[in-house]
Amino acid sequence: MRYFLLFLIFSSFFFQSAFALKLETSSFENDKNMPEKYTCLGNDLSPNLSWSEAPEGVQSFVLFCEDPDATFGTWVHWALYNIPKTSSSVKEGLPKVSDLQESMAQGMNDFGKVGYNGPCPPPGKPHRYVFTLYALDTTISVVTRSVTRTDITQAMRGHVLAEARITGKFETTKENPPPKINRTSY
């Protein structure tokens, strides 16, 4: 009986981790510094991201990039939604427009712009940039053109099948400060 219980515990752990949604990028290593080309000091390109092991029943994916270290609370750098269920990646340098190919769309970030705007923290300690991918059992229906993370999150409630994260880091210094832009903290 004891061996049977151990088998059940082991197999439960194995199957949960063996079929978990995975998010990866070749643009930077997880928990390491992001190259400047993905930041305000470079070309401000969105990184390429790929995923695997999506659960059964996925109808679409949602991707957010957020800075939880921003001075005044979490800062949204990217909100990408209605990524088709047949997709397993987004390419580097997506255009900064609302409507993309197929049904995929981008919402407003906290810079007040559509699409990706990369790391641009004030000089000081490194900030973390968390890319979170959600597998949903639905697509997102919104009635406004200025879709925000809040709008998307409300529409996602009760529809998340799985999620995965990858984190990049970035910092600026007094010697290499961010450009002067209208902001409070990113």
pLDDT tens column, 10-57: 333 333 444 599 999 999 999 999 999 999 999 999 999 999 999 999
- What are the tens digits of pLDDT across the range 162-176? 999 999 999 887 777
Structure tokens at 23: 């998010």
Q: Where are the alpha helices (DSSP H) in the chain?
A: 2-18, 149-156
Q: Measuring CA to CA, which residue among 64, 60, 62, 81 is closest to residue 166?
A: 64
φ/ψ of 33, rounded to 5, equals: -65, 140
User: Residue 156, SS3?
Assistant: helix
Please, what are the domains in the chain? 21-170 (3.90.280.10)
Strand partners, 84: 60
- What is the rounded distance in angstroms from the CA atom of residue 156 to the CA atom of residue 60? 11
Question: Is beta strand 160-170 parallel, antiparallel or unpaired with respect to 32-33?
Answer: parallel
